[in-house]
């Protein structure tokens, strides 16, 4: 088919680019496509992969892939791989035959751009429909004995699949349906758990008595806590649903932290109903528990929000915004803490003078 591409597009993840041409052989009921795929591994000896999946949905498991990489000695390698569930489970991953006939396969590395490009001609059996072709791509950083090692575990990597119409170039990605829910999950948890919960804690600590006694502190405190809990819990439910719909990947640490945070925030909110009275003998122990749980919760929330941002890899404004929110809360707490101790020391000196006079 030659090396002329008639269609090209920038793919939605990993900075990858894809070009192709196609020819329908109606006599033999098959289609031949020529493909070019380029991506930039983190290191020159990393690997890139592109493949097709005959199943109903575009996923890694079931993909018939072309994987290419460059050896440290400068030589290049490209071959076909059949990606199965055993591959995902960590079994040995070596070149294998696939039912798609592949010819004229090549891999080229550009030291100037850092891009690794694979190209080939594929003859697709009748079960592959080029107007609804499931294709998958990937980038990794490490190869050992011709065996590509696991890629990074970010959503950019897990979302690298789509269904494409090769005749028009239109496509629908895996992440299309989940994009808004992921964004909502992140925003709700940043606003609810990451902002309102710490703000409520600051109000409780600094406006109950020191440095400024404010009669309405309790109502503002519980309003922040309840509103933060409801907004954060909504984001948490969305996150749990997103995790349950992810058949082929999970973010265990992020999920476990989220469950712990939900449990701790629920316990803090229940304190509104089960808080001991001031005359109860164990009120002091309860105060210690309530404060320690609250401070632990704030730390866990901040850590998990950063984990979520690293998983989602959104625009840099997300991380900058949350760093700004944390910085503002921390600076406010620091100023109030200094003011509190200054006022406390002044009161102590005043009482000391009165005692010496009397």
Q: Given pLDDT bands bounded at 50, 70 and 90, which one contains residue 358? A: low
Place of tokens 């199943």: 55
307-351 residue pLDDT tens:
999 888 888 899 999 999 999 999 999 998 888 888 778 777 777
Q: Given pLDDT bands bounded at 50, 70 and 90, which one contains residue 125? A: confident
Q: Is 26 annotated as contributing to ligand binding? A: no
Supply 338's token pair: 């200094």
Average pLDDT across the chain, whole number: 87
Please tell me the distance from the alpha carbon of residue 263 to that of residue 118, in angstroms, as a whole number. Answer: 49
Global pTM reads: 0.77
**Predicted local confidence at residue 316, as pLDDT:** 86
In 10 A of CB 298, how many CB atoms?
A: 20
Radius of gyration of the chain (CA): 29
The fraction of the chain above a pLDDT of 90, given in percent, is: 48
Cα–Cα distances (Å) from 189 to 144, 175, 180, 228, 308, in that order, read 40, 20, 14, 9, 10
Pseudo-torsion of CA 321, 326, 327, 331, nearest 10°?
150
Please tell me the distance from the alpha carbon of residue 280 to that of residue 287, in angstroms, as a whole number. Answer: 12
226-249 residues labelled b (16+ CB within 10 A) or e (exposed): ebbbebbbebbebbeebeeeeeee
Is the pLDDT confidence value at 169 over 60?
Answer: yes
For CA atoms 85, 87, 88, 92, give the dihedral sign.
Answer: positive
Q: How many helices (DSSP H) and strands (DSSP E) are in the chain?
A: 8, 13
Length of the chain: 358
Please provide residue 198's backbone torsions phi and psi, each rounded to the nearest 5 degrees: -65, -35
Q: Is 290 annotated as contributing to ligand binding? A: yes
Pseudo-torsion of CA 248, 252, 255, 258, nearest 10°?
-170
15-66 residue pLDDT tens:
999 999 998 877 767 889 999 999 999 888 899 999 999 988 888 888 999 9
Q: Is 176 annotated as contributing to ligand binding? A: no
Q: Is 254 annotated as contributing to ligand binding? A: yes
Q: Given pLDDT bands bounded at 50, 70 and 90, which one contains residue 174? A: low
What spatial distance separates the first Cα and last Cα of the chain, rounded to whole Å? 105
Contacts with 254 (C-beta within 8 Å, 6 or more apart), sequence order? 304, 307, 308, 311
In sequence order, which ranges of the chain are alpha helices (DSSP H)? 85-88, 155-158, 179-191, 197-206, 217-245, 252-274, 283-312, 316-357
**Predicted local confidence at residue 2, as pLDDT:** 47
Residue ranges of domains in the chain, CATH in brackets = 7-172 (2.60.40.1210), 176-356 (1.20.120.1770)
């Amino acid at each position: 088919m030659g090396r002329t591409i008639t269609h090209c597009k920038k793919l939605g993840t990993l900075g990858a680019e894809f070009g192709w041409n196609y020819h329908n052989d109606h006599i033999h009921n098959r289609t031949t496509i020529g493909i070019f795929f380029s991506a930039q591994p983190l290191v020159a000896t990393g690997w890139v992969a592109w493949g097709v999946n005959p199943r109903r949905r575009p996923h890694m498991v079931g993909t018939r892939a072309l994987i290419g990489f460059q050896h440290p000695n400068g030589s290049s390698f490209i071959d076909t791989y059949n990606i199965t569930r055993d591959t995902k489970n960590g079994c040995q991953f070596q070149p294998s035959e696939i039912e798609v006939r592949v010819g004229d396969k090549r891999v080229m590395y550009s030291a100037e751009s850092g891009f690794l490009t694979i190209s080939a001609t594929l003859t697709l059996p009748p079960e592959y429909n080029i107007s609804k072709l499931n294709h998958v791509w990937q980038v990794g950083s490490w190869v050992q004995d011709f065996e590509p090692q696991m890629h990074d575990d970010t959503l950019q990597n897990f979302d690298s699949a789509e269904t494409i119409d090769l005749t028009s170039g239109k496509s629908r990605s895996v992440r299309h349906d989940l994009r808004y829910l992921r964004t909502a999950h992140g925003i709700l948890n940043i606003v609810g758990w990451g902002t309102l919960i710490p703000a409520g804690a600051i109000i409780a600590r600094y406006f109950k008595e020191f440095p400024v006694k404010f009669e309405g502190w309790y109502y503002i405190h519980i309003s922040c806590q309840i509103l933060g809990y409801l907004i954060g819990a909504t984001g948490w439910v969305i996150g749990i649903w997103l995790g349950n719909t992810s058949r082929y990947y999970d973010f265990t640490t992020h999920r476990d932290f989220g469950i712990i945070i939900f449990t701790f925030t629920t316990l803090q909110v229940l304190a509104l109903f089960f808080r001991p009275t001031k005359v109860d003998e164990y009120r002091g122990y309860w105060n210690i528990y309530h404060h320690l749980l609250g401070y632990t919760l704030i730390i866990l929330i901040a850590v998990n929000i950063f984990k979520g941002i690293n998983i989602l890899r959104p625009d840099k404004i997300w991380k900058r915004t949350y760093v700004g929110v944390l910085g503002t809360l921390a600076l406010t707490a620091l100023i109030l803490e200094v003011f509190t101790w200054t006022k406390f020391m002044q009161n102590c000196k005043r009482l000391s003078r009165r005692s010496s006079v009397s």
